[in-house]
Amino acid sequence: MIGPAIAAAVAAGLAALPFFVSDYSLGLMIGMTGYVTLASAWALFSGHTRYISLATVAFYGTGAYTVAVLNEMMPYPAVLTCAAAIGAGLALVVGLSTLRLAGIYFVIFTFGLAELVRQVITWYEVNITGTLGRYIFLDITARGIYWQMLALAAVTIALTAFIRRHRLGLALKVIGDDETVAAHSGINLARTKLVAFTLSATIITLAGAIASPRWTYVEPVIVFNPTVSFLTVIMALLGGANRVWGPMMGAVPLFLLFEWLSVSFPDTYPVLLGLLFIGVVFLLPDGMLGTLDKWRRSTKKVPA
């Protein structure tokens, strides 16, 4: 378990890195930190409840498109606030209508949600505004984007650690183990799931909003790429979605691997991604950290 002092020292070191690395390395750091945030936010809800959500890119793209629409109308802090509010509102609407679903039905719905949001925005842009795609004119440097994303990642991990020690975390764990038992224990299933889902979606929306100035030009096909949802799930599951540091442990190595694969094998990259997803699910169902804990327990000698 990493203590607060060590975590703060690591965060300070990461914050100082942009002064010592190249622009290319800084770009990699932004992407890596972004996926740490997404995987940690995804696990905040799905890691405990075991509801596999593929709606990550629906909120991520919503955050990016909010910045694209409002960046010339409002100060940047106000734009981020609006993005968070829109993400939370969308999560409340979706959560109230779908969190009673479970299993494959929830997975299918969340996957369809991202496509639905993309199609609605595309239709609006083409038929109402008469355009498709928007420019983002914000005087924000790559360092500024990195520091914002690093701060959001730190807040997400800290919030995850806090929730695990809170009644909400215990309630989510019981729901993930057995919803029937949770209901008989007096846990308000709908409210508990809705709170966690909304927190998770709001953070994901903010991540999309913060990352959007990197693109300069955005359109629905760019910001609603379903690969973002699949990568987020794989990263969280690989490290251990029910652990505080698990999503980060999965996101860092997999992001670097995916970057290399996409450059070295651009034509077969989707196939390799699918094989990796299958491998993680079957070979590491508890993630790297969970598997490591099991191995440690199995190697301990029982005293006579």
For 7-61, the DSSP string reads: HHHHHHHHHHGGGTS-HHHHHHHHHHHHHHHHHHHHHHHHHHH------HHHHHH
Average pLDDT over residues 89-110: 84
The yes-or-no verdict on residue 71 having pLDDT over 50 is yes
Give how far the C-alpha of residue 160 lies from the chain's centroid of Cα atoms, to the nearest Å: 13
Fill in the DSSP letter of residue 75. -
Give per-residue pLDDT as tens, 117-173: 999 998 988 888 887 788 898 889 999 999 999 999 999 999 999 998 888 888 888
The yes-or-no verdict on residue 185 having pLDDT over 50 is yes
165-168: long-range pairs with CB below 8 Å, 24+: 168/192, 168/195, 168/196
Cα separation, 232 vs 37, in Å, equals: 9
Better-predicted residue by pLDDT, 264 or 55 = 55
How much is the mean pLDDT over the chain? 86
Task: Supply the pLDDT for residue 302.
Answer: 47
The yes-or-no verdict on residue 247 having pLDDT over 80 is yes
The yes-or-no verdict on residue 206 having pLDDT over 70 is yes
Assign 297 a pLDDT band (cuts: 50, 70, 90): low
Residue type, 4: P
Cα separation, 81 vs 73, in Å, equals: 13
Task: Supply the pLDDT for residue 304.
Answer: 45
- Of 20-34, 237-251, 267-281, the least confident: 267-281
The yes-or-no verdict on residue 7 having pLDDT over 80 is no
